[in-house]
């Protein structure tokens, strides 16, 4: 059998324990057995020492990944070639990878201490997101370990466990966070040297999503949202406020987190002046906190205002557009997740394939471009950072009138195709 992820995953015990040799990897064996109702695949290495065959158990897949098994196999071959004992080497490595609770007590700040120092002293846009990632993936494994004793293998174990769940993006986020945590710990004199980190991202290079809904798919989504949430009746799989939130995401091209945390007090009135000097007073949405750290004031189209008027009927006395009845003090990430979860629940009903709330933002940006909206205007609708720093410094035009025109044109297009 070849050493591939799919090849290992396809191995079954067929009701009995069996050993499968890996082609091109002398001595490497995968033992397949069944325990507690599931298939267990264990890496083993067969070698000769003092003329007798020996077996070293390397660990279970996928906790020990295919990539890790390949590296470990090369190391063991070299150990045998130099007269060493692979079993002793494996046992020593296993001791290093034990949970913190099983390691000898060490002095100095623990990983938990440096994590808390990092979260307390660094200014992050979404501290609750960083805390959740570290609490779920790092602290259970090495939280009680002395920060000075952390090794690269500790990080590799954490990444392997995350990748075993199929979460490549999470592995990359945790990798980046850990680098920041220990860099801050070094700056604060909590550790003397930085631990070693894997050079490459554990989850590999991430490919940006490119999903854009066609007009036909927009119509399917829009009408399905109305079908699932008829006025005056309880919605199926999605509430009417969440259906309106998805529509607002498409109409305004704003992020789900900004919609989820928007307050009625954020609605303001602004003056817009177009190129001909025509002045107009109109409603706008002031977003005080954004991903780019720059506040954003977005003129609202008549369609967006109608959606907000309907949304206000459901909000009651809550200061938020989308009240969280279960947890009124919910974090920004938790509020944003409700929109994502709603989209996931209705995916089969909409029947347009894979899509996410953020794809609606990309769809709006693409749609405005198709309607002839200049890139400079469309990018400001999305509140993207200006690429050239000098342009940002010298061009102080607010683009309010241009954004209003762009969003009105996009809203008119949506109304025409969904009527």
Whether residue 211 contacts residue 198, with contact meaning beta carbons closer than 8 Å, is answered with no
**Does 289 lie in the same domain as 263?**
yes
List of E strands, 238-394: 267-273, 279-287, 296-299
**Residues 88-131: tens digit of each pLDDT:** 777 766 655 545 445 455 568 999 999 999 999 988 767 878 99
Q: Which of 259, 279, 261, 260 is nearest to 271 (CA)?
A: 279
pLDDT reading at 371 higher than 90: yes
**% of the chain beyond a pLDDT of 90:** 49
Residue 187 has a pLDDT of 94
Q: What is the pLDDT of residue 166?
A: 80
* Partners of 370 in the β-ladder: none
Q: Are 250 and 218 in contact (CB under 8 A)?
A: yes
DSSP 83: T
Q: Which of 8-12, 214-218, 412-416 has the lowest mean pLDDT?
A: 8-12
Residue 279: predicted pLDDT: 87
> Is pLDDT at 211 greater than 80 in this prediction?
yes
Question: Higher-confidence residue: 235 or 80?
Answer: 80
Residue 207 falls inside a structural domain: no
CA–CA separation, 257 and 263 (whole Å): 12
Lowest-confidence pick of 30-34, 113-117, 175-179, 235-239? 235-239
> What is the overall mean pLDDT for the chain?
87
Residues 15 and 128 in one domain: no
Residue 202 in domain: no
- The per-residue pLDDT for 176 is 95
Both 412 and 272 in a single domain? yes
Residue 381 has a pLDDT of 95
Beta carbons of 407 and 304 less than 8 angstroms apart: yes
Q: Do 299 and 391 reside in the same domain of the chain?
A: yes
d(CA 379, CA 393): 16
CA distances from 316 to 242, 294, 305, 330 (A): 15, 30, 17, 18
**∠330-385-408 over CA atoms, to 5°?**
80
Least confident of 181-195, 332-346, 370-384: 332-346
C-alpha 66/C-alpha 72 separation (Å) is 10
Write out the E strands in 242-386: 267-273, 279-287, 296-299
CA dihedral 262, 263, 267, 268 (to 10 degrees): -110
Would you say residue 205 lies in a domain?
no
- Contact (Cβ atoms closer than 8 angstroms) between residue 156 and residue 198: yes
DSSP secondary-structure letter at 31? E
For residue 186, the model assigns a pLDDT of: 94
Asked whether residue 226 is domain-assigned, the answer is yes
Share of the chain above pLDDT 70, in %: 90
Beta-bridge partner residues of 57: 44
Q: Verify that 79 and 183 share a domain, yes or no.
A: no
SS3 58: strand
CATH number (domain holding residue 91): 3.30.160.390
- Predicted local distance difference test score (pLDDT) of residue 13: 83
Q: How far, in Å, CA of 207 to CA of 320, rounded?
A: 34
Q: What pLDDT, on the 0 to 100 scale, is given for residue 333?
A: 73
Helix, strand, coil shares of the chain as percentages rounded to 5? Answer: 50, 15, 35
Residue 316: pLDDT band (50, 70, 90) is: confident
Whether 12 maps to a domain, the answer reads yes
Residue 26 sits in the same domain as residue 152: no
Pairing state between β 18-21 and 28-35: antiparallel
Number of structural domains (the chain) is 3
pLDDT band with cut points at 50, 70 and 90 for residue 402: very high
| Cα(125)–Cα(131) distance, integer angstroms | 12
Average pLDDT over residues 348-363: 94
What per-residue confidence (pLDDT) applies to 97?
53
Q: What is the CATH number of the domain that holds 316?
A: 1.10.443.10
Q: What is the pTM of this model?
A: 0.62
| CATH of residue 133 | 1.10.150.130
Instruction: Assess whether the previous peptide bond of 62 is cis (omega < 30° from 0).
Output: yes
Does residue 27 sit in the same domain as residue 141? no
Round to whole Å and give the CA distance between 56 and 62: 17
pLDDT at 75: 86
Pick 73 or 397 by higher pLDDT: 73
The answer on 335 and 243 residing in a single domain is yes
CA 354 distance to own-chain centroid? 17
Predicted confidence (pLDDT) at residue 320 exceeds the cutoff of 80: yes
Which of 30-39, 157-166, 215-224 has maximum average pLDDT? 215-224
In the predicted structure, residue 372 carries a pLDDT above the cut 90: yes
Mean pLDDT of 325-334: 73
Please report the DSSP string for 91-140 in residue order. HHHHHHTS-GGGSPP--S-BHHHHHHHHHHHS--S-HHHHHHHHHHHTHH
**Taking the mean position of all CA atoms in its chain, how far away is CA 348?**
22
- How does residue 310 score in pLDDT terms, banded at 50, 70 and 90? very high
Q: Does pLDDT of 269 surpass 70? A: yes
Q: Per the structure block, which two tokens stand in for 370?
A: 């198709």
Reference 381, options 304, 306, 322; nearest CA is: 304
- The per-residue pLDDT for range 213-247, each reduced to its tens digit, is 999 999 999 999 999 987 656 667 899 999 999 99
Half-sphere exposure of 65 (CA within 13 A, CB side): 17
Cβ burial, residue 58 (10 Å; 0-12/13-18/19+): buried
Strand order in 296-299's β-sheet? 267-273, 279-287, 296-299
- 90 and 129 assigned to the same domain: no
Does the pLDDT of residue 314 top 60, yes or no?
A: yes
pLDDT at 206: 79
Q: Is residue 208 part of a domain?
A: no
Least confident of 28-32, 48-52, 164-168, 393-397: 393-397
Domain that holds residue 320: 215-418
> What angle, 0 to 180 degrees and rounded to 10, lies between the N-to-C axes of helices 400-418 and 302-315?
80
413 in any annotated domain: yes
């Amino acid at each position: 059998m070849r050493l591939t992820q799919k090849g290992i995953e396809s191995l079954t015990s067929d009701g009995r324990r069996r050993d499968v040799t890996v082609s091109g990897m002398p001595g490497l064996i995968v033992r397949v057995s069944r325990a507690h109702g599931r298939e267990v695949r264990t890496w083993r290495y067969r070698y000769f020492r003092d003329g007798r065959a020996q077996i070293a158990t390397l660990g279970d897949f996928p906790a020990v990944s295919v990539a890790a098994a390949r590296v470990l196999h090369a190391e063991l071959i070299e150990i045998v070639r130099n007269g060493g004992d692979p079993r002793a080497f494996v046992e020593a490595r296993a001791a290093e990878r034990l949970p913190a609770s099983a390691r000898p007590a060490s002095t100095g700040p623990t990983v938990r201490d440096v994590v808390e120092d990092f979260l307390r002293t660094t200014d992050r846009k979404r501290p609750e997101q960083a805390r959740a990632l570290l609490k779920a993936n790092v602290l259970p494994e090495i939280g009680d370990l002395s920060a000075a004793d952390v090794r690269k293998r500790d990080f590799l174990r954490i990444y392997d466990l995350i990748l075993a769940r199929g979460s490549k993006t999470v592995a990359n986020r945790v990798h980046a966070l850990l680098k920041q945590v220990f860099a801050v710990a070094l700056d604060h004199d909590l550790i003397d040297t930085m631990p070693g980190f894997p050079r490459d991202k554990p989850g590999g290079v991430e490919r940006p999503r490119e999903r854009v809904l066609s007009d036909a798919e927009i119509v399917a989504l829009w009408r399905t949202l109305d079908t699932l949430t008829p006025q005056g009746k309880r919605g199926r799989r999605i509430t009417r406020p969440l259906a309106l939130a998805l529509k607002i995401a498409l109409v305004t091209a704003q992020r789900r987190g900004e919609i989820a945390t928007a307050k009625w007090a954020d609605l303001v009135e602004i003056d817009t002046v177009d190129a001909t000097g025509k002045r107009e007073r109109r409603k706008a949405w002031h977003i005080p906190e954004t991903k780019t750290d720059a506040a954003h004031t977005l003129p609202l189209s008549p369609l967006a205002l109608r959606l907000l008027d309907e949304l206000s009927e459901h909000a009651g006395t809550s200061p938020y557009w989308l009240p969280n009845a279960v947890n009124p003090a919910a974090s920004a990430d938790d509020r944003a997740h409700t929109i994502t979860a709603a989209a996931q629940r209705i995916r089969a009903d909409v029947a347009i394939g894979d899509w996410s709330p953020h794809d609606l933002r990309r769809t709006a940006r693409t749609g405005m471009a198709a309607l002839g909206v200049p890139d400079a205007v469309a990018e400001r609708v999305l509140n993207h950072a200006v690429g050239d720093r000098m342009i940002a410094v010298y061009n102080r035009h607010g683009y309010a009138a241009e954004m209003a025109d762009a969003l009105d044109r996009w809203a008119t297009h949506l109304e025409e195709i969904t009527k």
